[in-house]
Structures are given as C-alpha cells and as structure tokens.
Amino acid sequence: MSAIVKKKAALGRGLSALLENSDTDITSREVRPVGSVSMIPLNEVEANPFQPRTEFGQQELEELATSIKVHGVIQPITVRKMGYDKYQLISGERRTRASILAGLTKIPAYVRVANDQEMLEMALIENIQRADLNAIEVAMSYKRLLEECTLKQEELGERVGKDRTTVNNYLRLLKLPDEIQIGIREGKISMGHARAMVNMDDIAEQLELFHQIIEDNLSVRVVENLLKERKNGNKVEFTINGTDWDPEIDRIREIFSEKLKTAVHLKHSGKGKGKVIISYKNMADLERILGILP
C-alpha cells in the first residue's frame, strides 16, 4: 500500500489545485472542513466515462484487494456527486475495483463538484502520474489534454509538472509507425530507443532498425551511435550486430575507430568471444584501411 500513499504527493499541480479548491468540495459545505472524507456506498459509484485507462491487471487488483482487507483503503478516491445517491469517479478506479473484490460496501471519498472539462483534465492528469504507464500511454494522455482540454504545451507542462521539452519528447513518439508504438507499449524497446529513431525520415528504415534492436538486443547507446554515423554520411547497415554498452568494450571500439578513421562495431559475448566489424565507404576506403593495418 506504500505505493498508493506516495502517489498522492506525486500529483500534478493542476490536479492538486482542483482537489484542494473549496469550490469543488461538497463536503466543505457541511460541518466537515475542506479536505474531509466521506464514506460512500460502493454501489452508488459509477465509472468515469473519461477514464483514459481501460485495462486493469487482475493479479494487481487481487493483490491490492488483499492489502485492503488488512489495512483498508489508505488513499480516498475522488468522486463528483451526480444526484441523489449517485456519484461518478474522478480518480481511483483501481482502488474502487479492488475494494469491491475485497468485499467492502463503502469506500472513503472526497466528494467534489466538477464539469466535464474538469473531469477529463483531472482523470488524465491523475492517470499520467501512475508509475506503471508506458511512454505511449503518457503521450496519448498528453495529446488528449492538448486537444480536448485546449491546453497549450506550456500550460500542459505546468499541469503535469514537466518542462516543455519533456512533454514534446513524449508527443513525438506518436509520429512513429504503429508497429513501433506497439513495441513500446509491450516493452520490446525503451523510450530511449524510440527517441533515437523518431528523427529518421524513412519509415522502412525505422522498422528495419526496430526489428534489429529486438533481434540483437541493441542498447540505446549503440542505436544512437549507428544513427550518428549515418547522419555523418557513413553508410551503416542496421543488420550489423551491435553490443550492449560496456565501458571497456566501448573504450576499445573508440581506439579502433580513431586508428582506422572509420566506424567500428564490436559484438562481445558473455564468454569473452566476439567480432570486430569495420565499415568502409568504397573499395578505395577499404584499401586505405588495409594500408593502416600492420
């Protein structure tokens, strides 16, 4: 449950401001002070139609339900009152589902007033703060905040506590081919790999590199070096095997490159064996390299 407790402190300033505003707090109009919590029946709570997250892992829900049986719901959910005995979730669907699994009939909640625009913004920002989101899910949430909440990138950055460059780096991932975006979702490649590929103009080459990263388990460092060499005019085939970055291997590779004045790749196995791959531009360049070798 510690992850849930910490999560509240990580909320974006936009969401925090809305949740701490007395104008959005029904409970503050009763005897209770602003920020107080009400116990509301779970059967009176309906899902948030703006919930950006549609999949919830059953095992995670069951683990949270087990914890709730022991400790209760540590962090209250947030809802808006829709009418008599009817509430709609703003944030906390995972806690709500786990509470139902745990057999609870009531759940602690902050009861707010929010219009649909605020509901969407709060749900999206609350979703972005989740630690388990992949880069594409974050990017899609950013895109929805920009388009559906009519925010500018600077305003979005303020809402989620990120600078404009970070926000833009996520948004640019959505320009990648669908297959690569799916690969990011499934954890086949990292955001670092994707950021390195996003500036490539040729979709076919992007996909070729994507498959090579997976096939040869290329590190982000190797991918960045490959692309840098191509940008400098060196023809580097992506089918060349790379290596996960190792300081000593990289040091040796750089010595090779400096001595031969060309791109050199080392494929190093865990058993100490490996390959040295030397790139050349044409036959004349190959003859030049042969002249350097002893």
Using CA atoms, how far apart are residues 278 and 40, in angstroms rounded to an integer?
Answer: 69
Between strands 106-112 and 86-91, the pairing is: unpaired
What gap in Å lies between CA 50 and CA 46, rounded to an integer?
A: 12
Picking from 90, 93, 140, the residue whose alpha carbon sits closest to that of residue 115 is 90
Rg (C-alpha) for the chain, rounded Å, is 26
Burial (CB < 10 A; 0-12, 13-18, 19+), residue 254, is exposed
* Residues labelled catalytic: 93
Q: Are 212 and 218 within 8 A, CB to CB?
A: yes
User: Which residue in this structure is represented by tokens 């989101």?
Assistant: 133
Q: Report the C-alpha gap between 91 and 27 in whole angstroms.
A: 17
Among candidate residues 111, 139, 145, 141, the one with its CA nearest the CA of residue 127? 141
Task: Supply φ then ψ for residue 141, to 5 degrees.
Answer: -65, -40
What does residue 223 show for φ and ψ, rounded to 5 degrees? -60, -45
Give the end-to-end CA distance of the chain in Å, rounded to a whole number.
64
The amino acid sitting at 17 is A
